[in-house]
Amino acid sequence: MTRANEEHRGFGANIVERLIPHRRPFLFVDRVKRFRLGEVRAIEAALQISVNDPVFDGHFPNWTVWPGVHVVEGLGQTAQLLATLDAIRRAGAERDDEGLGLRTLDALDAAYSLRPSAAPSEEGLSMLKELSNSPVVGLASRIDMRLLEPVFPGCRLDYRVEWTLEQNGVLGFDVEASVGGRPVARGELGASVNTRIPLP
């Protein structure tokens, strides 16, 4: 059983793209820093904002500001990552090996990052493939957010999401985005369970 305070190391952009359906230019998470699963389910992720992002061509001329709606969407994508990771943990638990999928993701991330690691297990890869047809989390059902400060190019936008509700197919999350430890947005998001993990 995963302990409530067990913290898992995060992973890079290649694994993020295996776990959620979003793609550039509408992918607003490029790194998972760490996450916890079990009784406490929480995740920290990040996006490095480049001045070369095409959104700055029109938002706004002579004053480049990262759109607030992109901050909210990045928090939503981080919540979807957390729900997907929890689904992977649960699928492993059904096979009497709760860490199977997470070890497989770690091995894949090591390969992408050229870190030494054991090869991902065939059983783990097979389980992830099966999960690609499973419902995880989908459209926002509730957004209650406050944008606190503007975000500018060159910043690293840090996301923090904690899972707070799971009832009748609806999930709830407390969320916060910050830059340099200073909050720029916070609130609550709700989502319905109706999409799939886009693993190949």
- Which CATH number characterizes residue 163's domain? 3.10.129.10
Q: Is residue 179 part of a domain?
A: yes
Residue of 17 and 195 predicted with greater confidence: 17
Q: Kindly report the pTM of this predicted structure.
A: 0.91
Model confidence at 134, in pLDDT bands (50, 70, 90)? Answer: low
Model confidence at 198, in pLDDT bands (50, 70, 90)? Answer: low
pLDDT for res 2? 43
Q: Alpha helices of the chain — where are they, by DSSP H?
A: 13-19, 68-94, 100-113, 122-131
pLDDT tens digits, 144-186: 999 999 999 999 999 999 999 988 878 899 999 999 999 999 9
Q: Is residue 56 part of a domain?
A: yes
CA atoms of 186 and 124, how far apart (whole Å) = 35
Instruction: Verify whether residue 70 is a known catalytic residue.
Output: no
pLDDT for res 4? 46
Provide the domain count of the chain. 1
Report the chain's mean pLDDT, rounded to a whole number. Answer: 89
Mean pLDDT of 36-64: 93
Q: Is residue 200 part of a domain?
A: no
pLDDT for res 22? 85
- Nearest to residue 173, comparing CAs of 51, 63, 23, 35? 35
Helix (H, G, I), strand (E, B) or coil at 24: coil
From the list 8, 22, 59, 70, the catalytic residue is 59
Domain of 113? Answer: 7-192
Q: Is residue 14 part of a domain?
A: yes
Q: Is residue 1 part of a domain?
A: no
CA atoms of 28 and 82, how far apart (whole Å) = 15
In this predicted structure, the answer to whether residue 115 has a pLDDT above a threshold of 70 is yes
Q: Is residue 107 part of a domain?
A: yes
Q: Is residue 128 part of a domain?
A: yes
- Nearest to residue 74, comparing CAs of 27, 24, 139, 36? 27
pLDDT for res 20? 87
pLDDT for res 162? 98
